[in-house]
Chains A and B, each alone.
Chain A
Amino acid sequence: MTDKFISIEGIAKRYPNTDGVTAVFENLWLSMGRGEFASVIGHSGCGKTTVLNILAGLDAPSEGVVIVDGQAIGAPSLDRAVIFQSHALLPWRTVLGNVAYAVSSKWRNWDRAKVRAHAQRFIDLVGLAGAEHKHPSELSGGMKQRVGIARALSITPKIMLMDEPFSALDALTRGTLQDEVRRICLETGQTVFMITHDVDEAIYLADKIFLMTNGPGAVLAEIVENPLPKDRARNGLHRHPLYYAVRNHIIDFLVSRSKSFAVDVPRHDPRNVPVVRIGKPEPSIVSALEVIERTSTQAIARLT
């Protein structure tokens, strides 16, 4: 990695408990380039959200540093916008009020009209024009998350941090919102760090997928480079020859290897995490006869 825009250097997070100290993760190294969309996948309890909170500055690591754009971070910053899983809108403010609150926090000397105009631009961008005077309680889950996205984008951050932004949405809304986030991020060249549980979401959105093993004592096991072209579209995604190869690789990891990783790879170097590039699948020749045979035996098996 030549351009280290974000560099997480040997961070650990430990919590005291009844019998000593539990480490959620130890010695975690991770880096991202400018304009990259990275996604973290791992089971609950592996410390994904803690990593995101440390990146946001909302939580402090027990050890190690995080360097963003050449500077070690200590506190939350307007350069790093967070999209919360629970959207975290202020319910007593309207849609416009919520976005304007962020805008006026960033540009404190702007007058009302300028703040409103700027906020409105981002409300329009996420497709909420016409709903700006509604309160969050009047919005659907998808619309609320759109407001959260508009609020994060409106402060033109260097990095967007998303904590399972689409997990509370129904499948249909999730799809549309993913499309929009992808479009906006590509247009603005945004650097994004996203946590997800959804393998397809990661493959669709991310350039780089970080796989984390199970906690406590979680480690970053692999970095999977997304082999799909940059201009991938949702409807053709599953037809790409490498799609299932990547998907199966990640699912295999989540199902089995994330548990046994520490035993399987005893000399894992957290500073040199293997990068996995998934190449073209080996073409296998399947004769027409074999196919017929297989289907017929299946048919027979079903009959008996």
Chain B
Amino acid sequence: MRTNTVNDAKTNANSGDHRTEQSRWTPFYRKNGRALNAFLALVLVWIFFAVNNPTLFLNPLFYNAFLFSVPATIFLTTSLVFVIVSGELDLAFPSVVGAAGGVFMYSVVLGVPVIPAFFLTMGFGAMIGLGIGLIVVYGRISSLVATLGLNFFILGIVNLLAQGRTISAPEAMNSFGYKLFVGKWHLFDTTLRVPNHFIWSLVWVVFCYVLFKYHRFGNRVQLVGDNTDSAREMGINIERIRVSVFVVSGVAAAITGALLVQMANMVWFPTSGKAYLLIALAALFVGGTPTWGGVGTIFGAFFGAMTVTLIPSGAVGAGFAGYWTDFIFGLVIILTMIAHRFSGARVR
């Protein structure tokens, strides 16, 4: 995923102002500009919708559906930051979501309690991610092509095994594990019901943030994406890093798959991940992680995930007819891309 344009070089001249410190905010914005832009995009999109229908957007009830559906996108988008920043692309995660959901469902049907089944599913995601990573890195195939093919391949296998059936295990909804993962509770005395999987997604975001920004692994992911040859020459095991980002992606896809099953009241649809392919990628780029690798932002991805989740329901809530959704979606993506150019042009 390396693109470069003449414009990158031009805007470069403006970003070379590191010798003059105007205020305390200038360095802060320079470092976090992409995440802040993503946050700004979220706020602006919200305001745009809210002014059209203030009563609805100030009513906590409106956000129940939002909090319920946003975690899936958050898990997928934040894990994709590692993949894109390392210079790879993963288009296979939707199939892993579906497959992992199946693993989770079958485990529960076979009598494994929900919590161990969840960890089993995460392990399955790690293994599939490892497999994908090994194929991409040691097969020396472009990750775009390899994961595109693997997405169909894995989905195909899942469909063959499932034979078009959907599986359900409603009795598991009484278990402690189910309540732990997707149970809901009222925030104070409001009508806002917070689902636990939203909290888990916040935990995941913080975990990814620390891993990406303050851990040797994340540091090396960034260096490999910024200049692979240099990273290699400095003794970084670039193959291991490149394989590992697919493991991160696989684990996140597995968590998403297991959550989607539970969110659907313990029903598994083999193709449940399909809808997230473009959504998660759009969220990632709206979130300010550039396509060219080397740099990215976890919090930006988090805000991006919120933005893309808000748009469809928000547009309808604001009174736009359903067919406006795609238009607004595209507009937001393009406008945020332009905003990101101002805060972080590529330096070479």
Q: Do A and B bind each other?
A: no
